[in-house]
Amino acid sequence: MTGIIKSEPFVINIGPQHPSTHGVFRIKATVDGEKVIDAEMVMGYLHRSMEKLAEERTYTQNIPFTDRTDYLSSMSNNLGYCLAVEKLAGIEVPPRGNAIRVIMAELQRLASHCMAIGAFANDTGAWQTPVMWAFREREKILDIFEVTSGARLTCNYMRIGGVAFDLRPEFEPMVRRVLREFPPFIDEMEGLLSGNEIFIARTRGVGVLTPEMATNASLSGPMLRGSGIAWDIRKADPYCGYEQYDFDIPIGYNGDSYDRFIVRLEEMRQSLKIIQQALDGLPGGPFRTEVPLALRPPKGEAYARIESPRGELGYYLVSDEGPSPYRFHIRPPSFINLSALKEMTVGGTVADAIVVLGSIDIVVGEIDR
Amino acid sequence: MTPFLVSDKWYDIRDLGNLSREILEAADRILPFGVVYVLAALIGFVASFLLFVLPSQLIVGVYGERRIIGRMQSRLGPNRVGPFGLLQPIADAIKLIQKEALTPTRADRAVMYIAPIVFVMPAVLLWAVIPFGENMVIADIPVSLMYFLAVSSLPVIATFMAGWSANNKYSLFGAMRIVSMAISYESPLVLALLGAVVMTGTISLSGMVAWADEFNIWMVFVQPLALVIYFICVSAELNRTPVDIAEAESEIVAGYLTEYSGMKWGLFYGMDIGYALAASGFAATVFLGGWTFFGLEQWVPGWLIFIAKTHLFYFLFIWTRGTLPRLRADQLMAFAWKFLLPLGVFNLLIVSTERMLWSEQDYAKGLIYVFALVNIVLSVALVYAWARFNGYRPEQTPTRPRLVKQAGGYIPVGERS
């Protein structure tokens, strides 16, 4: 900018202590007035060295670690890890175990998307009302988790070969209640935000990701689908018997923040559909295959991936026939999705950068592990 | 039927001036010369606290707002301190007074210190011209509307001082935003009020109330558009959602308030409510007929009616705060210049034309009600037409994503899956 008044760009730290970074994440933004001309991501404030720690513990002992990577969707993380171990050791899961896993993973997706859209609306400035409404609904799901696994956030419910406990008698009525009460809530959110002119003005055309950008950055989940790419691991590489359920993949139009928001809302509807089908056709029989406590999988490697609420969550394991993995690696969807942040924020204003960051739906525990 | 209380007697609570005059005259006979002025100030202070500051600032402003927004957000709101949590504002104040008011090392100490004081003064001054009742106005100056507008622009300076002095980038952001926006929202605001001035033919707030009383119609019915413009612009001026851009919590932490703590912050917070109440009181006076209520003011004290109207208007601020997302600074400026300002001009045009046709003689008095009807219809049509003209196309925004059955690659928009 040239003119009579001399001005120069300056660096502003958004985070690590900032209301909208959803944890301890930091953007080092160079701004010219309100305009962002450069953005650098700084992460690692929540690093706990989980991948290295996991090499010292047995396969079963590692399950609680996966709770604590993406703490907003612990069930999905448990599931991804257990699938990887089962692939490595060649363990079959009984049908009931698979159905319970599907119900839990989809409930977790509902809970996580509640948080995602609530926090996103908060970032656009809707002062806490959407986030409180979303929390109210999320609470019902957390109650189900508490009844089933004994914990609300870090459930530690999946086990190698199935799940930890069978379902309790209260489980089914509680899930039916969620199935009954969630569609009105989603409509309510749609009425509050989707058609809101201010919300549209703030999110349409902000943080646009073209399909090329999205695939080049190897994004996944709602970020990818918002750009109009029909990609869902549940359809493309089914696990846990997802191929037997009928559901659709929602995809967006322009790949902007608004598309990511409506894709998440629609995904909640599809999740309800899957839960309904899984609950109606819940098979009997055992819920877990008996697995030796000190599991020693044969030499080899395995990569299992699932569609977590944030995208493709992959677990890579290498076994040297010992009781603990030789190498343990996580492919966290938030971390990879975040790599497109610079392209999306540069050129917009500071206010846009916050909206874009909110639309990525990061969980810092997963980024830093 | 005549009102049951006779005016000018001390027990006529419709004008509290009667009561205080009786007290002061009685005291003047006993006390030495001059002490009565101190007493008058004390009475004024206590009365204003009991009648207005306590119910409005503390109970409606602090407690009520938190409580109502709590209800909107499906939570309880403050309910621990005192009965129904009513003592929460006092508990907050005690906490704030105890807190250390930190000043950053490299801040401009003097400016940072006086900024809250500069912020508080206009909030008190604003109330001088607002009529609470027939004779209950401190300074009944003939240009009170201009006085109000002039004084209500002062806090911009205080907020800029606060943001500049803290030597914090977020504070500076907030300060620059508020200064850059100030002109854009104040011009439509003044235009909207100009319509009211043209219609009533007076620039004094008491005169406007008298006009509403005389013709038995509130300004909001004659020009609803002006109230809408006023509400949006004054929200921006008061930094309230959806246009709380200068202290946007999710973006720039707290804007110019970022480095303030303790009672210095408390002054900003308390006076934010004070300004919102003053703006509500002003709107109640100009647009909602002030202390009159179609003849009810002969039976019920006018100041009660006025306070009720003020709180009603204040509820609108609470309501929007609980529901709407925030605009961006450039969007607000574009909205104010491209949308509100032309609408204000249209409104002024309509009102001026009607004022020419309408004379206050008896034979044409009823014409104002026709104008009111016409204007309500015109306002709705104008807002819609101007929005469409400016590119408002809600049907072009799909609110539902596309659904596909099969995983695959990129599906361009418009292609069937």
Give per-residue pLDDT as tens, B133-189. Answer: 777 787 888 888 889 988 988 888 888 888 888 888 888 888 888 888 888 888 899
Contact criterion met (CB < 8 Å) for B410 and A204: no
- Give the residue with greater pLDDT, A117 vs B25: A117
* CB contact B33 to A (< 8 Å): no
* Chain B residues with CB-CB distance to A222 below 8 A: none
Please give the average per-residue pLDDT across B266-293, as a whole number: 87
Q: pLDDT of A329-339, one tens digit each? A: 999 898 898 88
* Chain B residues with CB-CB distance to A230 below 8 A: 404, 406-411, 417
What does the pLDDT read at residue A316? Answer: 92
Contact criterion met (CB < 8 Å) for A263 and B330: no
Q: Would the CA dihedral through A340, A344, A345, A347 be positive or negative?
A: positive
- The model's confidence at residue B1, banded by pLDDT at 50, 70 and 90, is very low
Burial string for A149-161 (b: 16+ CB within 10 Å, else e) reads beebebbbbbbbb
User: What is the rounded CA–CA span in Å between residue B209 and residue B196?
Assistant: 11
* Chain B residues with CB-CB distance to A34 below 8 A: 173, 177, 329-330
User: What is the rounded CA–CA span in Å between residue A322 and residue A300?
Assistant: 11
- The model's confidence at residue A142, banded by pLDDT at 50, 70 and 90, is very high
- Give the residue with greater pLDDT, A1 vs A46: A46
Q: What are phi and psi of B184, to 5 degrees?
A: -65, -35
Contact criterion met (CB < 8 Å) for B253 and A18: yes
**What percent of chain B has a predicted confidence (pLDDT) above 90?**
1
Closest Cα in chain A, distance from residue B391 (Å)? 12
* CB contact A191 to B (< 8 Å): no
- The model's confidence at residue A300, banded by pLDDT at 50, 70 and 90, is confident
* CB contact B404 to A (< 8 Å): yes
* pLDDT exceeds cutoff 70 at B364: no
Q: B249 CB contacts (<8 Å, ≥6 apart)?
A: A19, A125, A127
Q: pLDDT of A181-230, one tens digit each? A: 899 999 888 888 888 888 888 888 888 888 888 888 888 889 888 888 88
* pLDDT exceeds cutoff 70 at B6: no
User: What is the rounded CA–CA span in Å between residue A146 and residue A171?
Assistant: 10
Structure tokens, B242: 């959806």
* pLDDT exceeds cutoff 70 at A3: no
How many inter-chain contacts (A to B, CB under 8 Å) are there?
154
Name which of A26, A198, A254 to mutate to probe chain B: the one with the most chain B Cβ atoms within 10 A of its Cβ.
Answer: A198
Contact criterion met (CB < 8 Å) for B326 and A198: yes
Burial string for B274-290 (b: 16+ CB within 10 Å, else e) reads bbbbbbbbbbbbbbbbb
Please give the average per-residue pLDDT across B61-80, as a whole number: 86
**What percent of chain A has a predicted confidence (pLDDT) above 90?**
13
- List the 251-280 stretch of B: residues with Cβ below 8 A of A: 251-253
User: What is the rounded CA–CA span in Å between residue A351 and residue B173?
Assistant: 11
Q: Estimate to the nearest angstrom the gap between the alpha carbon of A128 and the chain centroid.
A: 21
* pLDDT exceeds cutoff 50 at A133: yes
* pLDDT exceeds cutoff 60 at B247: yes
* pLDDT exceeds cutoff 70 at B416: no
Write down the architecture of domain A49-368 according to CATH. Orthogonal Bundle (1.10)
Q: pLDDT of B119-128, one tens digit each? A: 888 888 888 8
- The model's confidence at residue A303, banded by pLDDT at 50, 70 and 90, is very high
What does the pLDDT read at residue A2? Answer: 56
Centre a 10 Å sphere on the Cβ of residue B73 and count the other Cβ atoms it contains: 19
Please give the average per-residue pLDDT across B215-233, as a whole number: 87
ipTM, interface predicted TM-score of the complex: 0.82
* CB contact B397 to A (< 8 Å): yes
Contact criterion met (CB < 8 Å) for B399 and A18: no
* pLDDT exceeds cutoff 50 at B208: yes
User: What is the rounded CA–CA span in Å between residue B196 and residue B350?
Assistant: 12
What does the pLDDT read at residue B273? Answer: 87
Specify the pairing of strand B402-404 against strand A249-251. Answer: antiparallel
User: What is the rounded CA–CA span in Å between residue A99 and residue A110?
Assistant: 17
DSSP string computed for B221-271: HH-HHHHHHHHHHHHHHHT-TTS-GGG-HHHHTTGGGTT--HHHHHHHHHH
Contact criterion met (CB < 8 Å) for A12 and B329: no
Name the residue of chain B whose CA is nearest to A210's CA.
Answer: B410
* pLDDT exceeds cutoff 80 at A146: yes
- List the 139-198 stretch of B: residues with Cβ below 8 A of A: 169-170, 173, 176-177
Closest Cα in chain A, distance from residue B282 (Å)? 26
Contact criterion met (CB < 8 Å) for A252 and B407: no
Q: Which of the residue ranges A37-41, A251-255, B13-17 would you say has the lowest mean pLDDT?
A: B13-17
Mean confidence (pLDDT) of chain B: 83
User: What is the rounded CA–CA span in Å between residue A125 and residue A266?
Assistant: 22
What does the pLDDT read at residue B220? Answer: 86
Contact criterion met (CB < 8 Å) for A197 and B392: yes
Q: What are phi and psi of A302, to 5 degrees?
A: -150, 145
Mean confidence (pLDDT) of chain A: 87
What does the pLDDT read at residue B351? Answer: 87
| Structure letter (DSSP) for residue B55 | I
| Structure letter (DSSP) for residue A349 | B
**Do the beta carbons of residue A303 and residue A84 sit within 8 Å?**
yes
* CB contact B368 to A (< 8 Å): no
* CB contact B250 to A (< 8 Å): yes
Q: Which of the residue ranges A121-125, B57-61, B303-307 would you say has the lowest mean pLDDT?
A: B57-61
Burial string for B175-191 (b: 16+ CB within 10 Å, else e) reads bbbbbbbbebbbbbbeb
User: What is the rounded CA–CA span in Å between residue A336 and residue B254?
Assistant: 31
* CB contact B326 to A (< 8 Å): yes
Out of B248, B327, B403, whose CB is closest to A198?
A: B327
Closest Cα in chain A, distance from residue B254 (Å)? 10
Torsion of CA A17, A19, A21, A22, to 10 degrees: 110
Q: Which of the residue ranges A76-80, A254-258, A321-325, B36-40 would you say has the lowest mean pLDDT?
A: B36-40
Specify the pairing of strand A10-14 against strand A26-32. Answer: antiparallel
